[in-house]
Structure 1
């Protein structure tokens, strides 16, 4: 099990460090009912990724994937492709001309984030589903699932591996919320300043994240494919 968890470290770190998810959580913590909103939003992510993980695990076990060389090869190639896609995305984010921001206006947030200012539960669920499926996390999550399904370990250890990936995917909601709850007003001011900084530098942060994880996944993928 220790070997599997060590192999999943890049995926765990990638799932737990998602700027878009952190911004969403910070916006919800500034809304009228912060705890309920974060619970609904983060709970939707938790349920969605749990379902994806369960499906992958059932399919993998039924196909006896951990005993086949093809599954291991597919896992290695998935990690390499994910890394190359991240590298391409990072380069595109760097060379793409940023959208002009109107002068004299305050903090500019993405369209999906503006829907979180005064959200209804249905809006929270919808945005959470979209954000979970269209951001780089889903590729990282599937890369981790591929490693878990192909691992030659017991079913209990595979379930634990999936649970670790799922829990890592919601840390972006748990950690800021706990900080918000225990630090009082000074801590909430720091969270607001963090949100402002993240939104102001979203392009540079997104490019840096894609490049860092692109290099990490590409190097690991190449080592596994060529090894």
Structure 2
């Protein structure tokens, strides 16, 4: 199980450090319907992570091992996922704003002030389960767990660890704001400003590192 946890830790951190969902959560916390939308978004975010990693854990557990115990099929999948992450890293780096240019944000962020809790839940689910960057890391985590040869209990514990880490950066500001809203507004606004201006740089470096790690893990399966 230790090997499986070691494999999923950088992937969980990759999802956790992704700036866009953190920015979305902060905007919801600064909106008129802060409590309902932020809790809905957090629930959707957690559910999306769970669905992605559980589905691909179950699918990858069906991958047969070769006679010498290696899993070349799982290795190939990891190599492909790693290459896809490197491609996204390069694209993200090219999209970073130049000089003092104002970064472009997704158009759906302008509608957050009028968003209901149900729509926020759906948005959280889509960003965690279907966003290409997060989905690739969820798939890689599922393949790592499913191919590790662990028991059902060990796989469940590993998934729980993955979900807790991956969801932490959205959960912490939401819980902190709901506990002390009057003191959190200014720090959240400052964090949002920094994340908006550094989103592309952060994600490109993050995807580069994780892509290399996933490729290295894939090579270990041969």
TM-score for both structures, normalised by structure 2: 0.82
Q: Does 2:192 match 1:168? A: no
Matched, 1:39 2:45: no
Measured at CA, do residues 59 and 120 of structure 1 come closer, stay the same or move farther in structure 2, by a change above 3 Å? same
Give me the whole-angstrom Cα distance separating, in 2, the residues matched to 1:11 and 1:120. Answer: 30
Q: How does 1:64-83 map to 2 (within 5 A)?
A: 65=63, 68-69=65-66, 72-83=71-82
1:196 deviates by: 1.1
Q: Which runs of 5+ in 1 are unaligned?
A: none
* 1:19 shift after superposition: 0.9
Moved more, 136-145 or 176-185: 176-185
Query: CA separation of 1:151/1:180 partners in 2, compared to 1, >3 Å: closer, same or farther?
Result: same
- Normalised to the residue count of structure 1, the TM-score between the two structures is 0.80
Segment drifting more, 122-131 vs 68-77: 68-77
Which of 117, 132, 156 aligns to 2:113? It is 117
Deviation at 1:71, TM superposition (A): 8.3
Contact 1:14 1:213 in 2 (8 A): yes
Deviation of 1:54 (Å): 3.8
SS at match of 1:153: coil
Among 113, 124, 129, the alignment partner of 1:128 is: 124
2:177 is aligned to: 180
Q: CA deviation at 1:94?
A: 2.6
Query: Would the aligned equivalents of 1:141 and 1:165 in 2 still touch at CA under 8 Å?
Result: no
- Is the Cα contact below 8 Å between 2:46 and 2:125 reproduced in 1? no
> Is 1:206 matched with 2:203?
yes
The answer to whether 1:146 aligns with 2:172 is no
Deviation readout 1:91-143 (Å, 9 max, x if unpaired): 223334859x998xxx9632122222221133213322332212411111111
User: SS of the counterpart of 2:71?
Assistant: helix
Structure 1 residue runs of 4 or more that deviate by more than 6 Å after TM superposition? none
d(CA) in 2 for partners of 1:174, 1:127: 15
| Alignment partner, residue 49 of structure 1 | 49
For 1:102 and 1:159, the matched residues in 2 are separated by 45
C-alpha distance in 1, partners of 2:181/2:42? 22
Separation in structure 2 between the aligned mates of residue 149 and residue 165 of structure 1, nearest angstrom:
13
Shift of 1:88: 1.8
1:156 to partner: Cα distance = 0.8
